[in-house]
Structure 1
Amino acid sequence: MSIRVLIADDHAVVRSGLSMLINAQPDMEVVESAADGREAFDKTLAIKPDIVVMDISMPPGESGLSATARIKDAAPDVHILILTMHDDEEYLFRVLQAGASGYILKSAPDFDLITAIRQVHSGAAYLYPSATKSLIQEFLQRVQNGEDQGKFDVLTDREREILSLIARGYSNKEIAEQLILSVKTIETHKTKIMEKLHLKTRPELVRYAAKKGLLEFE
């Protein structure tokens, strides 16, 4: 029985190229395509594919991150493989937190994409590039070892709230508007958070927030 695949990407030429590649495989079939996250969500619920190959950024429609979280909530048996141009740790942790089973770059060879689809369909996770696997293993090991357990306790409720919003991709201005605070106040909170947690960069904040379960997707 063929692996039924839905492709979600905002570029028609990408959808067409991926369809040709996947349909050329003896054990795969593209059953539907979508141009944004909302369309991907609706079509996934309608036809229940085995795999959704999902782009992250699909302007001006719903993002792949949001759609991934909604699909996993409504149809948890559907596996999602993120196909993106973003080779960034921040995106990696966000897609995993959203419920995706795999992450592969658009620059990857065709063979790797086909391998990723088969691997995700089997119930395993697929992470690309291979260095990412070491990153995740290190991350999970640190969680198991309980590293930095005490640091989180020094954050105030407001700081934890702001940390979560920062990690979810909101700008200082957007956080200020949401919490009805000034941008300067948010910047001050962010500085204090990083000092308390001994972190220096935004990706580090994202990893820390993921570890503490602070990444939520609506």
Structure 2
Amino acid sequence: MAARESGPIRVGVIEDHPLYRYAVANVLSEARDIELGPVAESVAAFASNQEPAGCVVVLDLKLRGVTDSQAVQEVVRMGHKVLVVSAHAGQDEVLGAISAGARGYLSKDADGDDILHAIREIAAGNSYVSPTLASFLLDSTRPRAGVKSVLSDRERQVLSLVAAGERDADIAEAMSISVRTVRSYLDRIRDKTGRRRRPELTRLAIEEGMA
């Protein structure tokens, strides 16, 4: 694929494994239509470079400091488009990252061509998820009857804030209730829905149109 008329695609990397970080940076530096941006081991280290908004960032999920969907949110807030490339590619991780704003998701068994293809799609304004992982997104759109009806208005509000990535303290402040009350609502939601972990609750909110 030739470089865009507006110039090469600026791409950064956030990856804490030195060997994989080097390998990805090497693949990017050899592509004619890509300009390699900051290469960092954490979100904080990447942010210190003050990269102008608009970069495509290849992001691992399991990092030091800010991690998982929160890492995605932080990079998106900087104005960048996120492509997650992670060894953790279960349904919860994929849905959590996409709901946090990632434009694409690949597992680490993807080769260099897969990563370049995904970057080019994202830079062009599209999204890209590998065919294997795309089935998770299709499953998440299938409605499950009865969940909304068993949750109270306040429980639905708590669930939507969880899906937005808010912490318990932030939810408490937004709803003018105590953190203890927030956790009580979360316990009720878990008991009613059978979803225990936060990524599972985020997925539930997506399924029910509450995210």
Corresponding residue number in structure 2 for 1:58: 63
Query: How far apart are the structure 1 equivalents of 2:210 and 2:44?
Result: 24
Unaligned runs of 5+ in 2: 1-6, 168-177
Structure 1 length as normaliser, TM-score?
0.72
Q: Give the C-alpha shift of residue 180 in structure 1.
A: 2.7
Aligned to 1:173: none
Alignment of 1:130-141 (within 5 A): 130-140=131-141
- Paired with 1:51 and 1:21, the residues of 2 have a C-alpha distance of 15
Cα distance per residue 1:56-113 (max 9 Å; x no partner): 1112x211522321332341xx211001001200011111111110001111122211
From 82, 102, 105, the equivalent of 1:103 is 105
Structure 2 residue matching 1:47: 3-state secondary structure:
coil
Q: Comparing 130-139 with 119-128, which one deviates more in the overlay?
A: 130-139
CA distances 1:32-54 after superposition (whole Å, capped 9, x unpaired)? 112112223443x4333521001
Tell me, in whole angstroms, the C-alpha distance in 2 between the residues paired with 1:192 and 1:64: 25
The answer as to whether partners of 1:90 and 1:207 remain within 8 angstroms in 2 is yes
Match of 2:192 in 1: 193
Corresponding pairs, count? 195
- Cα 1:188–1:208 change in 2 (3 A) is closer
CA RMSD of aligned residues (A): 3.3
Identity of aligned residues (%): 26
CA contact (8 A) 1:6 1:51 kept: yes
User: Given the two structures, how large is their TM-score scaled by the length of structure 2?
Assistant: 0.74
Matched, 1:73 2:77: yes
Q: Does the CA contact (< 8 Å) of 1:40 and 1:67 recur in 2? A: no
For residues 188 and 114 of structure 1, the distance between their equivalents in structure 2, rounded to whole angstroms, comes to 43
Q: In the superposition, relative to structure 1, how do residues 49 and 190 fare at CA in structure 2: closer, same or farther (>3 Å)?
A: closer
More helix per residue? 1
